[in-house]
Every structure is written in structure tokens, then in C-alpha cells.
């Protein structure tokens, strides 16, 4: 048990948000003459100067292709790109760098598993278990595979509060399930799924597990060894990194057996006119010239987050979520989707009588950037009984002033649209 003084010290370890905000040039921008309150972090995050500078430094000082040049620039680029893999491995607790594959984004990472692992190891009659809250990125690839291979897809229903009932999982698994693919944190509901327990149940049934960690790795500490997942995917741009860089973690026992997703340059060790042999991991799955600058930018983003500490990021977001939910509950005609406690930094809502797209457009006039739409989760929208929702989502540079500006804009929208 922590001593009282230790508890106080932990409570006082809050983020210096004002200092953090100064690291993000875009937050100094005025939007239509108003202070920018950027609340669309589940879609993409802003970039600190250190990430921008790391990318520019690569292009300014050591721009060269990797793994191919016996000269200093290429050696420096290769070292930086390979170190980026190592930093990702350490950040998510992977045992070895060979299990870290760079992709374009989380979507491509999941597609890699569907195409390479799925088409190799699944056969007609096998079952994949998905939840009803999945992003299209963790749904459409499996639908395509199911049509091609004659695979059954079973859907784990959500409860009324937007959570999953673990008691339902065993009946879904059976002896035919080969994969459970589940989001760690819902990008609509904010639900935090118990993926460690799900992985244990899946493995007991002889199934592998894939975790869509696009909304978890950027926001709290994730350790793939503790989760014991077979695959885990996330995107760099949702964690202060550049667009065009994503990550697939996979147990090397699978990667060694899986055929390449793409083939061509750099992913080979030897080629003749008759056949080709593959490169060692992880390069076997990174064909052609990769997004070198993206990898370097992602490494800089990880350095930035690591210096702050993911526990501090998580505590800060939870404070903002609690404050925002309390403010929203004061308002009439607001429907909040998902659990009202223990949720990620995402709040989807409906303001009665105002279409989410109209609301988002109005909010922009007040300098507030929010998301509106189906959030790439149309099947979930049908369950919720709405065509779309409005959504706010938080990150380490947001503060209560952003929330207050958002609430003030909401009240103005109610007055404007009810004239």
C-alpha cells in the first residue's frame, strides 16, 4: 500500500499541458479568428516540433535508400530506420525487433494478416470471431477473406452499455474458431475491451488473436508479452507520428511460416530466373523502398511520449473525459454512446434535432474541430440506431479550456439551430 505522501506525489504528477502545447506549432494557429480547440485525435493527432524536425533532418542531412548503399548517407539512414523498429519493439514490450513490421497504417497491418496468415492457415468451415464494434479496417478484410475461402464469421454482440460480456465468448469460440480479432479500444464507444482475458480464452480454444490497437497504444502502456497476443496493429499518425507509417507486431513463430504480403526488392535474400528466397525478419515483409522518413518520425514520436510517460498521458486523458462527461450531463437533449465510466479518451454523442454533420460545421466556425459521421463503423451505427454521431477525442495537449470552448460552442449551436 502506498504511503500518504507517496499518494500525494503521484496525484501531483500531472502533465504540464501549457508547456506541451508550445511543442505543437499548429495549436498556435487561429481558426476563423478563434483559438483552435482540436478534438479529433481519434482520427489523427498533431505533431510536435521534434517529430517535424526529425523528418526534416533526415531529408536535409542523410537522405538515402536503406540496406543498399556502401556509403555513409545510406549507412546512417539504415541505422536510423532499423533503430526505429527497435524503439517500437521496446515501446510495446516485444521480445525481439524481428517481430516489428512497418506498414502504411493499421489498416494495411490487418490486411497483411488477412492476406498472408489467413490465406495460408484458414480453410473452408473455419470461424473468425469479431465484435459488433469493429472499425471497418478490422471487418472488411475478414469479409473479403470469408467470401474467398468459405469461412464463417461470428459476431460477438455488444451489451446495452457498449461493453462485451465475457460470458458469451465461449459459446462463440467452439472448436471451429481459428481467430479472434478485436479492437482494444472502440473508436466510437470508447469501450476498453479486456483483451488479455480474451486472448487467454482464444488460446484455450486453439485460436489466435489479433488486437486492433489503433486507439490504445497511443494512449496508455501496452505490453504485447503481457497480453500474449499473436498479432497487434496500430498507426503512427494517431500517436504524434507522421501519416503513412503503421506497425504490425506478430509472434515470430507466425511470421516465419507466413508467405510475404508483397514481393520485389529488399524482401529477398537471393533470386534466380527460377525462384526466390526470402530475406530475414522483419524485412521479409517490407518490400521495396519503405517510408524511411515515416519510420524516423515515428521513432521521434515514441521518444517524445516516452519522455512524458504513458501513465501520465493516460491519467491526463481520464481527467479530461470525466470533466467533459460531467459538462455534457448538465445539458439537455444530449445522448452519450458507450460506457459512462472506465472508457478511453473518445466520446461519441448525439445532440437532439441537429445532424452531426451540421453540428461539426457549426463547431468549426467556433474554432472547435470535432468528428462527425459513422467513424468507419457503419454496422455499429445500425445497432445504435443512428446514421452518424458527433465525436470528441482527446490527447496529451488538450486541456479544460478546449472542453469549455467545446461546451460553449455546443450551447451556441443549440440556440442557432432552434431558432
3-state secondary structure (DSSP) of residue 260: coil
Q: What is the pLDDT of residue 340?
A: 87
C-alpha cell, 167: 460470458
Q: How far apart are CA 182 and CA 163, in angstroms?
A: 12
Q: How far apart are CA 233 and CA 114, in angstroms?
A: 12
Q: What is the pLDDT of residue 68?
A: 81
84-85-89-90 Cα dihedral, nearest 10 degrees: -30
Phi, psi of 315 (to 5 degrees): -60, -40
SS3 per-residue string spanning 310-337: HHHHHHHHHHHHHHHHHHHHCCCCEEEE
Q: How far apart are CA 377 and CA 132, in angstroms?
A: 9
- Classify each residue of 193-213 as buried b or exposed e, where b means 16 or more C-beta atoms within 10 Å of its C-beta: bebeebbebbeebebbbbbbb
pLDDT at 3 over 70: no
Per-residue pLDDT, averaged over 343-351, amounts to 97
307 CB-near residues (< 8 Å, 6+ apart): none
Given a contact cutoff of 8 angstroms between Cβ atoms, the answer to whether 213 and 233 are in contact is yes
Per-residue pLDDT, averaged over 214-224, amounts to 98
C-alpha cell, 275: 525462384
Given a contact cutoff of 8 angstroms between Cβ atoms, the answer to whether 328 and 411 are in contact is no
Given a contact cutoff of 8 angstroms between Cβ atoms, the answer to whether 81 and 97 are in contact is no
List pLDDT tens digits, range 38-93: 999 999 999 999 999 999 999 999 999 999 889 999 999 999 999 999 999 999 99
Per-residue pLDDT, averaged over 255-272, amounts to 93
Q: Residue 166 half-sphere exposure, CB side, CA atoms within 13 Å?
A: 11
Given a contact cutoff of 8 angstroms between Cβ atoms, the answer to whether 51 and 297 are in contact is yes
Q: What is the pLDDT of residue 96?
A: 96
Q: What is the pLDDT of residue 419?
A: 60
Q: Does domain 9-38+309-417 have CATH number 3.90.1150.10?
A: yes
pLDDT at 8 over 70: no
List pLDDT tens digits, range 125-167: 999 999 999 999 999 999 999 999 999 999 999 999 999 999 9
Q: How far apart are CA 268 and CA 281, in angstroms?
A: 11
Q: How far apart are CA 121 and CA 195, in angstroms?
A: 23
Q: How far apart are CA 12 and CA 301, in angstroms?
A: 25
Q: How confident is the model at residue 13 (pLDDT cuts 50, 70, 90)?
A: low
Q: How far apart are CA 101 and CA 266, in angstroms?
A: 14
List pLDDT tens digits, range 288-323: 999 999 999 999 999 999 999 999 999 999 999 999
pLDDT at 1 over 80: no
List pLDDT tens digits, range 110-133: 999 999 999 999 999 999 999 999
- Which residues of the chain does CATH 3.90.1150.10 include? 9-38+309-417
355 CB-near residues (< 8 Å, 6+ apart): 388
Q: Is the dihedral of CA 245, 251, 257, 258 positive or negative?
A: negative
List pLDDT tens digits, range 349-385: 999 999 999 999 999 999 999 999 999 999 999 999 9
Given a contact cutoff of 8 angstroms between Cβ atoms, the answer to whether 301 and 236 are in contact is yes
Work out the mean pLDDT of the chain and round it to a whole number: 95
Q: CATH for 51-307, among 3.40.640.10, 3.90.1150.10, 3.40.190.10, 3.10.580.10?
A: 3.40.640.10
Q: What is the pLDDT of residue 7?
A: 41
Given a contact cutoff of 8 angstroms between Cβ atoms, the answer to whether 373 and 183 are in contact is no
DSSP helix, strand, coil percent of the chain (3-state; round to 5): 45, 20, 35
pLDDT at 342 over 90: no
Tell me the catalytic residues: 376
Q: How confident is the model at residue 2 (pLDDT cuts 50, 70, 90)?
A: very low
Please give the model's pTM, rounded to 2 decimal places.
0.95
Chain centroid to Cα 337, Å, comes to 20
Q: How far apart are CA 249 and CA 132, in angstroms?
A: 24
- Which residues of the chain does CATH 3.40.640.10 include? 51-307
Amino acid at each position: 500500500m502506498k504511503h500518504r505522501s507517496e499518494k500525494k506525489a503521484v496525484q501531483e504528477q500531472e502533465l504540464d499541458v501549457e508547456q506541451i502545447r508550445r511543442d505543437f506549432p499548429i495549436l498556435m494557429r487561429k481558426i476563423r479568428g478563434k483559438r483552435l480547440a482540436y478534438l479529433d485525435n481519434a482520427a489523427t493527432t498533431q505533431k510536435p516540433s521534434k517529430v517535424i524536425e526529425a523528418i526534416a533532418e533526415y531529408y536535409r542531412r542523410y537522405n538515402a535508400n536503406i540496406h543498399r548503399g556502401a556509403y555513409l548517407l545510406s549507412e546512417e539512414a539504415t541505422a536510423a530506420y532499423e533503430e526505429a523498429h527497435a524503439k517500437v519493439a521496446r515501446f510495446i514490450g516485444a521480445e525481439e525487433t524481428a517481430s516489428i513490421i512497418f506498414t502504411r497504417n493499421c489498416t494495411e497491418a490487418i490486411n497483411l494478416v488477412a492476406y498472408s496468415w489467413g490465406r495460408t492457415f484458414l480453410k473452408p468451415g473455419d470461424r473468425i470471431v469479431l465484435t459488433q464494434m469493429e472499425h471497418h479496417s478490422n471487418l472488411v478484410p475478414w469479409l473479403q477473406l470469408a467470401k474467398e475461402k468459405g469461412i464463417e464469421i461470428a459476431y460477438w454482440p455488444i451489451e446495452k452499455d457498449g461493453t462485451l460480456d465475457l460470458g458469451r465468448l465461449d459459446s462463440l469460440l467452439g472448436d471451429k474458431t481459428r481467430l479472434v480479432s478485436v479492437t482494444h479500444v472502440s473508436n466510437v464507444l470508447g469501450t476498453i475491451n479486456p483483451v488479455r482475458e480474451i486472448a487467454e480464452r482464444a488460446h484455450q480454444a486453439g485460436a489466435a488473436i489479433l488486437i486492433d490497437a489503433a486507439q490504445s497504444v497511443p494512449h496508455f502502456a501496452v505490453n504485447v508479452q503481457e497480453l500474449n497476443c499473436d498479432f497487434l496493429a496500430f498507426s503512427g499518425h494517431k500517436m504524434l507520428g507522421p501519416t503513412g507509417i503503421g506497425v504490425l507486431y506478430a509472434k515470430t513463430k507466425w511470421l516465419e511460416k507466413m508467405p510475404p504480403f508483397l514481393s520485389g526488392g529488399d524482401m529477398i535474400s537471393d533470386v534466380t530466373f527460377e525462384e526466390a528466397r526470402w530475406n530475414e525478419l522483419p524485412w521479409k515483409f517490407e518490400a521495396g523502398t519503405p517510408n524511411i522518413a515515416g519510420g524516423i518520425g515515428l521513432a521521434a514520436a515514441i521518444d517524445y511520449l516516452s519522455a512524458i510517460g504513458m501513465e501520465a498521458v493516460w491519467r491526463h486523458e481520464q481527467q479530461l473525459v470525466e470533466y467533459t462527461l460531467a459538462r455534457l450531463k448538465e445539458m439537455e437533449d444530449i445522448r452519450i454512446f458507450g460506457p459512462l465510466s472506465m472508457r478511453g479518451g473518445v466520446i461519441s454523442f448525439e445532440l437532439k434535432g441537429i445532424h452531426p454533420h451540421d453540428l461539426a460545421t457549426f463547431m468549426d466556425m467556433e474554432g472547435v474541430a470535432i468528428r462527425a459521421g459513422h467513424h468507419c463503423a457503419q454496422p455499429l451505427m445500425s445497432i445504435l440506431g443512428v446514421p452518424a454521431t458527433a465525436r470528441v477525442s482527446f490527447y496529451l495537449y488538450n486541456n479544460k479550456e478546449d472542453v469549455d470552448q467545446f461546451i460553449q460552442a455546443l450551447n451556441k449551436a443549440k440556440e442557432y439551430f432552434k431558432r
